[in-house]
Amino acid sequence: MKLLRFGAPGQERPGLLDGEGRVRDLSAHVSDIGPDMLDPTSLGRLAALDPQDLPLVDGQPQQDLRLGACVAGVGKFLAIGLNYACHAAETGMEAPAEPVIFTKWTSSITGPDDSLHLPHGSTAADWEVELGVVIGTTAKNIAESEAMEHVAGFCVVNDLSERDWQLRRGGTWDKGKGHDGFGPIGPWLVTRDEIADPGNLRLWLDLDGERMQDGSTQSMIFGVARLVAECSRYGTLHPGDIITTGTPAGVGMGMKPPRYLQAGQEMRLGIEGLGSQCQRVIAG
């Protein structure tokens, strides 16, 4: 299934994408796409529905029908740094011996096609296309071999970053990672059964039509199961939590000279089987 949330900001309703690429309204069956319906039993009930029996929503998704973040009520938005050796190399950092974990503020979460308003004073905003993992059931100190049982599905994430504040303002990376709008997720949550191998997905990002990132999750240093198990070691994972798993080479800070986002630019990004996003950059 491809689950989504549609409507104006703050008024999103739950839906799913049917086989013709149209949105069907799930409001009669669930209140939202959130933590209380991401377990296998709840997802199974939704999967048993015939999309043709659900109300058809007017408009074409991501054209004249806005989509919100594909998951509501996210408790933790965890991120993995330097998880592609090619990205670590372009930043001048060593590939890590174990996963680098940091957090993005949940207030950064936004819809997949919402405009990015640069923070006031930002001079080094950067892009990062990433595979997002959505937790479906509670996980604490789990083994890597059982980690995938706790995953509800996957989504596209743009792990936007303000590099100056991330790296040169002291403290942890969080200062440059959690600004409003710095966490577009979606367009949809694709349930785990639809993705045969999350470790073999192509991901890409274009800036004003120029291909900046073009990689594969095959290049991840630590795979999805390892990351879920590792995160569960340091804190309990709850349904609706999101882990975004790192980015391949091609970010702005790795270029010579560096290239950062400017007002008026447009990012398009996507992952094989998970859909695409588009964000227009607006001055802060």
Rounded Cα gap, residues 109 and 70, in angstroms: 10
Instruction: Look at residue 43 and tell me if it is in a domain.
Output: no
Q: What is the DSSP letter of 146?
A: G
Instruction: Look at residue 53 and tell me if it is in a domain.
Output: no
- 3-state secondary structure (DSSP) of residue 221: coil
Task: Tell me what pLDDT residue 25 has.
Answer: 98
Instruction: Look at residue 183 and tell me if it is in a domain.
Output: yes
Rounded Cα gap, residues 107 and 129, in angstroms: 19
Instruction: Look at residue 65 and tell me if it is in a domain.
Output: no
Rounded Cα gap, residues 225 and 228, in angstroms: 5
Instruction: Look at residue 84 and tell me if it is in a domain.
Output: yes
Task: Tell me what pLDDT residue 93 has.
Answer: 76
Tokens coding 270: 């996507």
Tokens coding 57: 């929503």
Task: Tell me what pLDDT residue 268 has.
Answer: 98
Instruction: Look at residue 104 and tell me if it is in a domain.
Output: yes
Number of domains in the chain: 1
Task: Tell me what pLDDT residue 160 has.
Answer: 98
Kindly provide the residue ranges of all beta strands, DSSP E only, lying in 136-254, ordered along the sequence.
151-158, 161-162, 183-184, 189-191, 202-207, 210-216, 242-244
Instruction: Look at residue 54 and tell me if it is in a domain.
Output: no
Rounded Cα gap, residues 19 and 2, in angstroms: 10
Task: Tell me what pLDDT residue 112 has.
Answer: 98
- 3-state secondary structure (DSSP) of residue 55: coil
How crowded is the C-beta side of 29, counted as CA atoms within 13 Å? 22
pTM of the model: 0.96
- In the predicted structure, residue 171 carries a pLDDT above the cut 80: no
Range of the domain at 179: 73-282
- CATH code for the domain in which residue 179 is found: 3.90.850.10
Instruction: Look at residue 56 and tell me if it is in a domain.
Output: no
Tell me the per-residue pLDDT of 73-105, one tens digit each, with 9 for 90 and over: 999 999 999 999 888 788 887 889 999 999 999
